[in-house]
Structure 1
Amino acid sequence: MKKIVTVLMLLLLLVVAVGMFNQEVLQNSRDYMKDHSVFEAASQLIKKTKQGTITIENVDVMQEPVRAAEYVVVNESTDEEVALIVTDDNGIGTSKPIPFGKTYQVIQRSVAHPYQLHDEEVIIDLEEDYELKIENELLDYVKDVQYTDGSVEITESHIPVATLMQNPELPNGCEIVSLTAVLNYYGYDVSKTTMADDFLPKQPFARQNNKLYGANPYEAYAGEPRDRSGFFVYAPPILQAAEDFMSTVESSHKAVDVSGSTREELLEYLKQGIPVVTWMTLELDAPRVTYSWYFHETEEFFEAPVNLHATVLNGFIGEDKVHVMDPLKGQMVYSAENYFTSYDALGSHAMILVEDE
């Protein structure tokens, strides 16, 4: 009997031992699966969060650094802007860390004057830190520059204002023809005769009590530009003609009277790509004041220069020469000193068209 009990006890202990062993194996198996899942999840997370940078070296055509250029990095699949890159004094800029395994577009959002915006598409599949070099062209009208202490100075410009001659239709219409040339440069499709006939304020001459009466040139053209007897007009009525015309079309510009501007200020407009209608004298001679009339409204006596002329100042070469679209002669290069001396002597009259913000 004792032997039977002993055998039974041994069998029971064996069953318990086997059960405990199986439980441990099961637990270990569960722990392994749990640890393995965490490992896999962690691996996937690391893969998803692994990041790198995009570095841009920005230069110009002379391989000089382009400073303060701004770029945005855009996720191609979501259109989300994920990073901003700004170049430093060495023309280098680096993005913040962004995820690998994505496709990004790099877009130059702004660049300093006098460079053209870089508009070529740059697409990057980011799998590791990426470096690229981007080159900016000079603006089309900028013909030469000088590098000084990290800055770029324009030393030659030529804004391509097309030649527009006043003859034969407008023998005394140099002012409205110069304005029309600038309007055409900005893309407005209008003729010189339309501007003269439909938009230029004009006032005819008249004789009364042995006195010649005519227009105040600050208010209207004196006479008729189609006639040999027509005289001239200063900047304000030319501005009025520009504004009246632009009110009839879809316009993005406004006219600005910049009379009184210094030589340096006019050159600065040219550096910004803005042609200037300027009043000077024929052959750049001294003004010849040999004609006169009385204003219609006020009877104020007015002495008029007979050699007044208007042109488009559209560029310069260093400090010595200027490019001019002369409606009597075409594209000309004049001595800067003589040109600005004539401009000043006649009263420093000038006007421009600028973007209407």
Structure 2
Amino acid sequence: MKPWHFIGILLPLLGCSHGSPADEQIQTLKSDHEPIVIKKVPAQIQELAVPKPEMQQQRAKNVLMNVPLIKQNPELKYGCEVTSLAMVLKYAGADTNKMKLFNEIKKDNDPLKRSANGDILSWGDPAEGFVGDMTGKRAGYAVFDRPMEDLINHYLPGRAVNLTGKDFETVLNHVGSGYPAVVWTTGDYRLPDRWESWTHGSEVIKTPLDLHAVVLVGFNDTTVYLNDPLSGRKQVAVDRQRFIETWKAMQSRAVSYR
């Protein structure tokens, strides 16, 4: 969640502060709920392995990955995006952590300007880089998919997958193939109800205040499972349809790798 007016009062609401796994396993569920364990294998072997049709069908319906949980606090009050990405990259076997990503993610350093009554007049563009101060020493907001995609390609050259703007079934199919995804939502996974706007050059940025990023680690017919860097909870179960509605309201943003 990310604050705005009267920074001294509402600062805790800004951004997402409102509230090596090479052997990690992907769990899929049979109809009788007995877990099937699929061990991760090197990419060159994955490319040669062709799963049986029945396995593909099961995997598309029920998936739960043991993605390592990383908490954004106390270092990165508004760092839900890079902390979520750290989880995904760790799962992929990359040698990184949230603080490395904090230093490496592109920043939009346009200063925050407010009116006399505290309204935001101008600030940065999260589509270009992280806006504000991720540590929380000053006001911070968020970063969107493109700078995150660039960072994935830095660690996994040519393997970034930007799923932004796709339908949610496409995201689920990608996750069902064994690749967790960073997805944008709200702090309570419900529809955003607080919006703000400001200018950035000749553009007007309009965005919800309670923006948050988490890792989509699994799903079934009724539920999605999330690693949440803010609450510090792993494999949080959230109603699938409710989550989809919120994800769409947040402009259907998601990034992963292949």
Asked if Structure 1 and Structure 2 have the same fold, meaning a TM-score greater than 0.5 normalized by the shorter chain, the answer is yes
Match of 1:142?
A: 27
TM-score (norm 1): 0.53
Shift of 1:253: 5.5
Secondary structure of residue in 1 paired with 2:159:
strand
Select which of 74, 80, 88 maps to 1:168: 74
How far off is 1:242 after superposition?
Answer: 2.5
| Residue 288 of structure 1: aligned partner | 193
- The amino acid across from 2:222 in the alignment is D
Does the 8 Å contact 1:176/1:200 carry over to 2?
no
Q: SS state of the match for residue 197, structure 1?
A: helix
State the structure with bigger RCO (CA 8 A, min sep 6), 1 or 2.
Answer: 2
Aligned residue in 1 for 2:84: 178
Given the alignment of the two structures, is residue 232 of structure 1 paired with residue 148 of structure 2, yes or no? no
**Structure 1 residue 140 displacement after superposition:** 3.8
- What's the RMSD between the two structures over aligned residues? 2.3
Tell me the SS of whatever aligns to 1:230: coil
Q: 4+ residue runs of structure 1 moved beyond 6 angstroms?
A: 208-211
- Map 1:81-120 onto structure 2 (within 5 A): none
Alignment match, 1:333: 237
Question: CA 1:193–1:140 in 2, change beyond 3 Å: closer, same or farther?
Answer: closer
* 3-state secondary structure, aligned to 1:303: strand
Matched, 1:305 2:214: no
SS at match of 1:337: helix
Counterparts of 1:185 and 1:213 in 2: how far apart (Å)? 37
Matches within 5 A, 1:170-249: 170-207=76-113, 212-227=121-136, 229-243=139-153, 245-246=154-155
TM-score, with normalisation over the residues of structure 2?
Answer: 0.73
Matches of 1:334 and 1:208, distance apart in 2? 36
Can you give the 5+ residue segments of structure 1 that lack an aligned partner in the other structure? 1-138
Question: Unpaired segments of 5 or more residues in structure 2?
Answer: 1-23, 33-52
Shift of 1:255: 1.4
1:314 and 2:220 are equivalent in the alignment: no
Instruction: Name the structure 1 match of 2:37.
Output: none
Greater Cα shift, 251-260 or 167-176: 251-260
Q: Which moved more, 1:196-205 or 1:307-316?
A: 196-205
Against the structure 1 CA distance between its residues 277 and 220, is the aligned structure 2 distance closer, same or farther, given a 3 Å change threshold? same
Find the counterpart in structure 2 of residue 271 from structure 1. Answer: 176
- CA–CA distance in structure 2, aligned partners of residues 285 and 302 of structure 1: 21
SS of the equivalent of 1:315 reads strand
Change (3 A) 1:338 1:253: same
- Amino acid of the residue matched to residue 30 of structure 2? V
Amino acid at match of 2:90: N
Q: Give 2:212's aligned amino acid.
A: H
